[in-house]
Amino acid sequence: MCGIVGYVGDQEAVPILLDGLRRLEYRGYDSAGVAVLHEGTIEVRRSVGKLINLEKALADRAIHGRTGIGHTRWATHGKPSEQNAHPHRSDGCVLVHNGIIENYVALKQELQRDGHHFQSETDTEVVAHLIGRHMKRGANLVEAMRAATREIRGSYAIAALCEREPQTLVAARSGCPLVIGQCAGATLVASDVMAMLAHTRDVTYLEEGDVALMTPSQVSITDAAGAPVRRTVTRVSWDAAAAEKAGYAHFMLKEIYEQPQAIRDTMRGRYTFDTGEADLPDIGLTDEQFAQIGRIWIVACGTSWHAGLVGKYLIEEMVRTPVLVDIGSEFRYRNPLVEKDDLFVTISQSGETADTLAAAREAKQRGARVVSIVNVVGSTLARESDGVLYTHCGPEIGVASTKAFTAQLAALYLLALHLARVRGVLNANDGRVWLERFVALPSLVEQILKRDGEIQAIAKRYYEKRNFLYLGRGINYPIALEGALKLKEISYIHAEGYAAGEMKHGPIALIDQDMPVVVLAPRDRLYEKTVSNLMEVKARNAPVIALVSEGERDLGNVADAVFTIPEVPALLTPILFTVALQLLAYHIAVLRGTDLDQPRNLAKSVTVE
Ligand code: G6P
C-alpha cells in the first residue's frame, strides 16, 4: 500500500528515487511523484498511472538535487489524479505519506479557518500544512514533524524535507512500516527494504511512534516526545538480484517456478530424521509450553488466510487439538474469546498487514502466546511476536501471492509435526515416515512444473469463459478458495471456491455449459463423494477440469480435461494442487492480456484497514 522512498546524499537523487520506486511499485501503482531540493528550492513532478508516466514527465522536464523523496500511490482518499498524487507541499516543506489520517476532516477545517488553502482531496495534505504551520511558528523540521504527529490520528509512514534545511530528511512512523539504510555518503528511507537493496543490506526498522532525522552521514531517532531511542541494525539476506525477473515474462511466473527452492529453503535445517522431529529454535515456546496449549488460533488475511485454513485441517488431523481460523479484520473487532493458554498463530508474507497485526496485538493483550509465520525478516509482525517461523522464500514481487503461500504451507507442516511430537500424538517412527514423504514435496513440485504445457493447453480451451467454479473437500477446500482467488485477482474472471459437498446448497443453480468447474479430487477417503459431485456438475453440462491423483482412470472418461498430480498422502496434496492452479490462472491471464504482475485495484501489502 503506497511506496515511499527518500534519499539524502552525494549523488543525484532522482535516478535513485526512481529505481527505489520501481522496486516498490507493487505496493501501489495508480500515480507517482518525486520532489527534490535544489539550491533552496523544492521542485515536484507527479503523474497519474504507472511509474513509466512519471519517468516520461521527468525526461521532458528534468529536476536535479541531492535530497529527495518519492512516492507510488494506492489511492484511499481522493481519486488517482495528478493533484492527489504525492508529494504534497505547504509553506516550503514537502512530504509523502502511506496510511490514513483518520481525523483529517476536522484538521482540514481548522487549517482552512486559519487561512490554509488545499490543492488536493487527500488526507495527507493536512500533514504538510500542519508541519508548514509549525515551521512558520519557529520550529525546525524535525520538531514540526513531532508536533504534527501529536495532532494526527490514524496510521502513517511519512518522509519529508524542507527548503530551509538542506541535506536533511525527516521521517515518522505509526502503523505503517519504514526502514532506514546507510551507505557511503548517503542515507535512504523507504517503506520496505526492496527500495534500498542496491545500496545497502544493513537496515534499521523504525518502531511505532519513532521520528527520525537523517543527513547523508547521520541518523538520529527519537520517540514522539523527542526522547532519543536506540534501534538495532538488521542485516537483510536478500540481494537486489532476487528482485529481478531473471528472464521470466512475469514476476508471478518466476515465483511459481521458484517454489521447489522456496519450500526447500523453508524446510532446511528444521527437522531431524533420527528423532522424527521438527527443530524450530525461534518458535518462542518451550516444549512444555507447547504441551500445555489449550486451543490454537490461526489469523491472517487473503491468501495467507487460505494457508491458515489448510493449517486447521492439518493440525486437527495430526495433533488432535482444536484450531480456530479467522480473518484479521473479523477477529479484531468481535471481542474474541482468546484464553491465556491458547496458542495464537498469525500468517503473513509481508508481516505488515494492518488487520493481521492488530489481531496479534489483541491476542497478546489477552495473554495468548503469539507465533508468526512471516516472510519478511524484521517486519513489524516478526518483531512483535513471541516466536517467528520464517518462510525463507525470498522477496515476492508479483501482487498475487504464489511462492509465499506454498512456503507458508511448508512452515505449517513443520509446526504441525512439532506439535504432534511434543504433545505425544506422533511417535518417533511415525514422525520419520511422515518426514520422508514431506521432504519429497519439492521434487514433486518440480515434476508438475515440467508439465506446464498441459495446463497451458487447458487454459487455451477455457480462457474466454466469464465464470469459474472451484470445488474441493477437506484439506483441499481452502485450495479451491485459493485457486479461485488467483484466477479472479489476475484475470478478472468471476470465480468462486466452494466446499464440494456444499455445492447443492446454492451454486449448482449457476451451473451451465458456460461455467467451467475445476474439481480437486485426490485419491483419499472422500474421493467417491467428490466424484458424485462431479457427476452432478456433468449432468448440468458444465465443462469439468479435474485435478486427480496419478493413475486415476474413472474421471478421465467423465471430465473434459484432466491433470494428474503425483500420488502423496492426502494431507500433502494441497501444495501440489496449488501449483497446478497457479499455472492455470497464470496462463488464462496471459491469454486475456491482463497486467498480471500488477492487477488493477490491488496492492501487495495492505497496511491500512
Ligand atoms: C494482499 C495481497 C495478497 C495477500 C494479502 C495478505 O491482499 O494482495 O496477496 O495474501 O494481502 O498479505 P500478507 O502480507 O499478510 O500475507
Model confidence over 218-253: pLDDT tens digits? Answer: 999 999 899 999 999 988 888 777 777 878 999 999
- As a whole number of angstroms, the distance between CA 554 and CA 544 comes to 13
Angle at 416 between CA 411 and CA 422, to 5 degrees: 125
Model confidence over 112-124: pLDDT tens digits? Answer: 999 999 999 999 9
Cα of 607 vs centre of ligand 1, distance in Å, is: 10
Angle at 548 between CA 542 and CA 553, to 5 degrees: 90
Positions annotated as catalytic residues are: 2, 604
Cα of 353 vs centre of ligand 1, distance in Å, is: 7
Cα of 306 vs centre of ligand 1, distance in Å, is: 11
Give the pLDDT score at 454.
97
Give the pLDDT score at 23.
87
Q: pTM here?
A: 0.86
| Nearest atom in ligand 1 to 602's CA | 8
Mean pLDDT, to the nearest integer, of 534-556?
86
Which phi and psi angles does 491 have, rounded to 5°?
-115, -10
Query: How many residues does this entry show for the chain?
Result: 609
Q: What is the mean pLDDT of the chain?
A: 93
Cα of 323 vs centre of ligand 1, distance in Å, is: 22
Give the pLDDT score at 240.
73
- As a whole number of angstroms, the distance between CA 569 and CA 549 comes to 10
Count of beta carbons in the 10 Å neighbourhood of residue 532: 12
Please say if the pLDDT value at position 605 is more than 90. no
Please say if the pLDDT value at position 385 is more than 90. yes
Please say if the pLDDT value at position 504 is more than 90. no
| Nearest atom in ligand 1 to 603's CA | 8
Mutate which of 256, 301, 389, 601 to test ligand 1's pocket (most atoms within 8 Å of Cβ)? 301
Mutate which of 304, 329, 381 to test ligand 1's pocket (most atoms within 8 Å of Cβ)? 304
Please say if the pLDDT value at position 77 is more than 90. no
Cα of 397 vs centre of ligand 1, distance in Å, is: 11
Please say if the pLDDT value at position 507 is more than 90. no
Cα of 97 vs centre of ligand 1, distance in Å, is: 20
Give the pLDDT score at 24.
85
Lowest mean pLDDT among 20-24, 461-465, 560-564: 20-24
Give me the helices (H) in 196-301, please. 251-257, 259-267, 287-292
Give the pLDDT score at 535.
84
Model confidence over 414-438: pLDDT tens digits? Answer: 999 999 999 999 999 999 999 999 9
Please say if the pLDDT value at position 159 is more than 90. yes
Task: Please say whether the beta carbons of 255 and 398 come within 8 A.
Answer: yes
CA 135 to chain centre: 37
Helix (H, G, I), strand (E, B) or coil at 138: coil
Cell triple for 20: 527505489
Please say if the pLDDT value at position 38 is more than 80. yes
Mean pLDDT, to the nearest integer, of 346-356?
94
Give the pLDDT score at 30.
87
Mutate which of 401, 482, 487, 488 to test ligand 1's pocket (most atoms within 8 Å of Cβ)? 401
Give the pLDDT score at 185.
94
Please say if the pLDDT value at position 553 is more than 80. no
Mean pLDDT, to the nearest integer, of 317-343?
92
Give the pLDDT score at 564.
94
Mean pLDDT, to the nearest integer, of 398-412?
96
- As a whole number of angstroms, the distance between CA 94 and CA 88 comes to 6
Residues with CB under 6 A from ligand 1: 301-304, 348-350, 353, 356, 399-401, 602, 604-606
Give the pLDDT score at 443.
96
On the CB side of 52, how many CA atoms lie within 13 Å of its CA?
1
Confidence of residue 314 (pLDDT cuts 50, 70, 90): very high
Please say if the pLDDT value at position 607 is more than 80. no
Give the pLDDT score at 523.
86
Give the pLDDT score at 165.
96
Atom 8 (ligand 1) nearest CA: 604
Which phi and psi angles does 57 have, rounded to 5°?
-60, -40
